[in-house]
Amino acid sequence: MPLPVVLHRYAPLLAALTLLFLPARLAADLTWTPEGGWKFEGGVVSGLAPRENRNALELMNKARTAEDKGHYRSALSAYQKVTKRYPNSLYAPEAFYHTGYIRLARRQYLKAFRAFQEIVTRYPSTSKFNQVIGEQYRIATALLDGARSRGWLLLIPGFRNREGSIGLFEQILYNAPYSEYAPLALMNIAKAHQMLGNPEESIDALDRMINTYPKSLLTPDAYLRLAQAYTALVEGPNYDQTATKEAITYYEDFMILYPGDPNIAAAEKGLAQMKQVLAESKLRIGDYYFKYRSNYKAAKVFYNEAITDYPDSSVAKRARVQLAKVEAKLTGTKPPEESSEPAPPPRKKRFLFF
């Protein structure tokens, strides 16, 4: 079989192998000038047979010319033909790249994200990988901030899609788990869930952030937000204190790990509030055992815990008073508030003379 026929028959396979094994920098060798059109520099080939290369190049030039003139529909049509007919060529990732930017210009955010995702999935060795991830992050952030995709005929704005941004951020995490965008994505996932009223999911995202990226510059903020997220779940001293204890743990961790952080005062304030709630809860349980069950030993345990949880608080002072009453009951002595004290002498009447 003649060599040209062999090359033509196996051109798609050779192109795929080229994309897989060539250095990433070679993808940047496809350059555009209005005068000369698209060209490969440095001896790189397109991965196509000569006739297919001419057809693909013609479509690429047509698409870019239309794009520069703002004729986005024509440009998209030509780029789409390139990606469908020549998916294994070095033209294809560039066509997807420009498709993504055109979709962005038309405010078709999800379609733009999917175009960039095609590059990540099919051509991970592209030199534009970081740029693509950056564009995906910006799209997800725009949706989180309330951007609306254009609807029917590109005239009617669509609905806000903050919930949809969560899936996009998760996709970014999957695409580039060790990139600079990964910690940012997790922080935004937590923010989105918080805005949507999903505190448990927000806590989960922050916990993943702390455990996966402990050395990130965003980790201190994640600790504080995690403490504040648990604080938001606290319903008061009469309810379950699991969230209160978690909030205390993360406030204390934040203060120990990042003592010089500018948010240390906010952490101290939050910690004091949570300790107050926890101590008040112990005090009320102690009051219940003391007043309604006459279980003085149990009451003593909870009063002591209230003092231990927040020793310098007003709650601790009240607990000490109650503890003295418990001791009086246990020892059979008169409680302090029932001890008789001499009444103060009556004040002398004054008479004013005019």
Determine whether 263 is exposed, middle or buried from the number of CB atoms within 10 Å of its CB (0-12, 13-18, 19+): middle
In this predicted model, what pLDDT tens digit does every residue of 78-97 receive, in sequence order? 999 999 999 999 999 999 99
Per-residue pLDDT, averaged over 131-148, amounts to 96
167 pLDDT band, cuts 50/70/90, is very high
Which two structure tokens, joined as six digits, stand for 207?
A: 């916990």
pLDDT averaged over every residue in the chain = 87
Question: Does CATH place domain 1-127 in 1.10.760?
Answer: no
* The pLDDT value given to residue 352: 45
Which homologous superfamily is 132-151+158-216 in? Tetratricopeptide repeat domain (1.25.40.10)
Query: What's the pTM?
Result: 0.81
pLDDT attached to residue 153: 52
Least confident of 31-35, 175-179, 260-264: 31-35
pLDDT at 336: 63
First to last CA, the chain: 137
Report the 10 Å Cβ neighbour count for 148: 15
- Would strands 157-160 and 148-150 be described as parallel, antiparallel, or unpaired? antiparallel
Question: DSSP secondary-structure letter at 217?
Answer: T
pLDDT of 340 above 60: no
**Amino acid letter at 285?**
I
pLDDT recorded at residue 113: 97
Q: Which of 55, 135, 131, 44 is nearest to 90 (CA)?
A: 44
Neighbours of 341 (CB within 10 A): 5
Q: pLDDT at position 8, please?
A: 39
- What residues form DSSP beta bridges with 40? 30
Per residue in 241-260, pLDDT (tens digit) is: 999 999 999 999 999 999 99
Residue 307: the pLDDT is 96
Instruction: Give 88's DSSP letter.
Output: T
Mutual angle of helices 264-291 and 314-331, in 10-degree steps: 20
Query: pLDDT band at residue 59, thresholds of 50, 70 and 90?
Result: very high
Domain boundaries, the chain: 1-127, 132-151+158-216
Per-residue pLDDT, 19? 45
